[in-house]
Amino acid sequence: MKTCLSDNYFVATTFLHTQSRRKIKQNRIGTTLALGRPVNAAAAPFRAAMNQPTQLTWREFSMSPSLETPTAVPPSARMISRLAPPMPPRDANGGDTSFMNNVPDPLLADKELPTFKFALERSVGKIIGNSEGKEVTVEELPISKGIAGVSMRLEPGAMREMHWHATAAEWAFVVEGRVRTTVIDPQGNSETNDFEPGDVWFFPRGHGHMLECLGNEPCHFVLIFDNGYFSEFGTFSVTDWLGHVPKALLAKNLGVDESQLADYPTSEVYFARGAVPPEVAQAPLHGTQQPPLTHKYRMLAEPPHGVFAGGQEWRVDSTNFPISKTMAGVILDLRPGALRELHWHPTADEWQYVVEGKVSVTLFGSHGRFRTEILEAGDVGYIPQGYGHSIENIGDGDARLLIGFNSGVYASIGLSQWLAGNPKDVLATNFSQPADSFDDIPHEEVFVAAETR
């Protein structure tokens, strides 16, 4: 009997469905059910390859070992995984597409919620001269699987050298000082921009760029990446790359004599140091070739998105910063006692950096699990996608938070908004309260609640 295309698809999809409903014991000695027939322990590497999905054509599958004979080695699990309908790419309207699989994070499946706080500015990072970078990834904060962050300071004349990120886009907010960046896209378009406090930049994944302090004062900016497993200290730096390429090969590539490369760095520089850059940026070697979308947005130069009795909010996403297709950001100011109301984000994880002040952040994870963390200036908080939370200013002065999201379109649902979206009889039944008691609650979204005395 010949194995036809539809048969292969049926076998593949049946296998994937079975796997999703049954945890296979990888270390079991003997046999494990796969593709409806016994497979011995030697097939474990095939099953392990399931974690490395790549594209496979039907022709490649049809040329795999026969499925007709029980004694034949079955196609690898990696091969089978490639036959599943492809996951839709993350776009501006969606957050983590892994939620389509409804696979729980083991860290969030315990009876108690894990910590969602990390003291970033009190950690030890990379320091070269008077420049430094401190990061928080899943290594430092295991709950933060969807977003990583870096606090970076550059001294005058210092540059975070030319580099790119293979696994994450970069969204940044300038806290103090001035910064100059250059970035190039796959079409060869390049852009140079100067940034001041309150400005934002966004570099899509894989786009080469550099960051340098502009002027005679140091600068500080916070970088947010849409991948919690990303590490700033594992990026692709130009000196690290070229320092390991044979000089003859590099000379051939650049069309120069090998002797001209003798003094090039042989290892990663990371923070390059030189003269303070000129106030007016010079043109690139290939001349001006601007990209269709700018990488710069002046967030705090714009009017706030919302002004409330208890504070104000600035918001930037792909609707007003079109290049930022996978990330959004917020600056939230809270007056003493003010509360960013109970809410959740249906399409994104939330990464918080306290610029100033002291706040109490709550996290609700269903099944009665509730946790509170106190965050102060320099601390980071993390809220998984869809988890209920709130932010309250418990300090004596104003609080400011920088908040990043791994979705290109901001979306949230607040408690007041949710309640106001239901009729009184529904609320009365749900809470076992008289219907007229709900005349006293807000009939529209609160967003930020002011302190009541």
Residues noted as catalytic = 160, 163, 165, 170, 209, 232
Cα separation, 228 vs 136, in Å, equals: 8
Which amino acid is located at 409 in the chain?
V
- Pairing of the two strands 448-449 and 339-344: antiparallel
Q: What is the CA radius of gyration of the chain?
A: 26
Whether residue 328 contacts residue 304, with contact meaning beta carbons closer than 8 Å, is answered with no
Measured CA distances, 397 to 304, 325, 336, 380, 389 (Å): 20, 35, 6, 19, 22
Q: What token pair was written down for 421?
A: 């979206």
Tell me how many degrees the CA angle 412-382-325 measures, rounded to the nearest 5: 55
Q: What token pair was written down for 181?
A: 């960046």
Q: Which residue has the tokens 């919302």?
A: 306
Q: What token pair was written down for 38?
A: 């016994």
Whether residue 329 contacts residue 298, with contact meaning beta carbons closer than 8 Å, is answered with no
Q: 104: Cβ–Cβ under 8 A, 6 or more apart, which residues?
A: none
